[in-house]
């Protein structure tokens, strides 16, 4: 069974940092591209970052470019999102999502909540 489990969320002050993890199981992580998508309270989905299966290609939304860094460790079945210079508007549930070539984001984790507040 494919599973994605996010962790690392919590309360952080503005300007602080947080590292999110997404642990994958039930499939070979190295065969898939991965993404992070977030959802602010009461708002819609926002794609924020992509990483290729090898980790060689990375994309970011303009809203997080220069502050967030996506990475992966296929040997440890994990994808990460390093978030620096956090702002109140980064408060959201952060989901990791597997990307299939044809089916797009075919599996999602349950998300981890990040709250940026003083």
- Please select the residue that binds another protein; options are 67, 77, 108, 113, rule is CB under 8 A: 108
Q: Which residue in the set 41, 44, 56, 66 belongs to the binding site for another protein (CB under 8 A)? A: 44
Q: Which one of 1, 62, 66, 118 is in contact with another protein (CB under 8 A)?
A: 62
Stretch that binds another protein, among 7-15, 21-29, 71-79, 100-108 (CB under 8 A): 100-108
d(CA 90, CA 2): 28
Q: How far is the CB of 12 from another protein (least distance, A)?
A: 23
23 binds another protein (CB under 8 A): no
**CB nearer another protein, residue 56 or residue 118:** 56
Q: What is the DSSP string of 42-67?
A: TS-EEEEEEE-TTS--EEE-TTTTTT
Q: How far apart are CA 29 and CA 5, in angstroms?
A: 13
Burial label for 61, CB within 10 Å (0-12, 13-18, 19+), is middle
Using rule CB under 8 A, residue 103 touches another protein = yes
Task: For residue 50, state whether it binds another protein (rule: CB under 8 A).
Answer: yes
Look up residue 34 and give its two tokens.
Answer: 């991965």
The residue within the footprint of another protein, chosen from 70, 111, 112, 116 (CB under 8 A), is 111
Residue 62 backbone zone (phi > 0: left; psi -120 to 50: alpha; other: beta): alpha
């Amino acid at each position: 069974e494919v599973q994605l489990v996010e962790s690392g969320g919590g309360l952080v002050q503005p300007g602080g940092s947080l590292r999110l993890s997404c642990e994958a199981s039930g499939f070979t992580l190295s065969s898939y591209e991965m993404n992070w998508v977030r959802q602010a309270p009461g708002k819609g989905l926002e794609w924020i970052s992509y990483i290729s299966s090898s980790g060689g290609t990375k994309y970011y939304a303009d809203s997080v470019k220069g502050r967030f860094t996506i990475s992966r460790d296929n040997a440890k079945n994990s994808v990460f999102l390093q978030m620096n210079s956090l702002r109140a508007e980064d408060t959201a549930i952060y989901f990791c999502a597997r990307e299939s070539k044809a089916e797009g984001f075919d599996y999602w984790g349950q998300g981890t909540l990040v709250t940026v507040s003083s």
